[in-house]
Amino acid sequence: MIAFYSIRLLLIMKQGTLQKSWRYVSIGSFMFVFGVLLFALVAALPGLQMPFFVFNLGGLAMIAGGVFLMLGLRVQYKIFHIRLSYEKMQERTSDLT
């Protein structure tokens, strides 16, 4: 379900102020889910003797997904921080007039 909604977000958030942050969040969540699925595949099917690189690939995908999630949240924070500081500045100048 997480991967489904991350792809939907990528398709919906094509334009606008929040496009960059939600793109990072969507890509990060999709990569994270992919990494978890690889980990679960190796753990659930030990009889298949999967190569160890599948385990490493899952870990790498989860780390990359976490980095993309962090970047998306950082961009989102910066957008709202700038907006809120601008609104507070407008309130202060309106108090003076």
Domain that holds residue 58: 2-96
Place of tokens 């998306």: 72
Which of the pair, 97 or 21, is modelled with greater confidence? 21
List, in order, residues 6 or more apart from 61 with CB less than 8 Å away: 31, 32, 34, 35, 38
Q: What is the CA radius of gyration of the chain?
A: 20
Residue 86 pLDDT: 65
Interval 68-91: pLDDT, tens: 999 988 888 888 877 766 666 666
Residue 71 pLDDT: 92
Q: How many helices (H) and strands (E) does the chain have?
A: 3, 0
Interval 34-73: pLDDT, tens: 999 988 888 888 777 778 888 889 999 999 999 999 998 8
> How many independent structural domains does the chain possess?
1
Q: Tally the residues of the chain.
A: 97
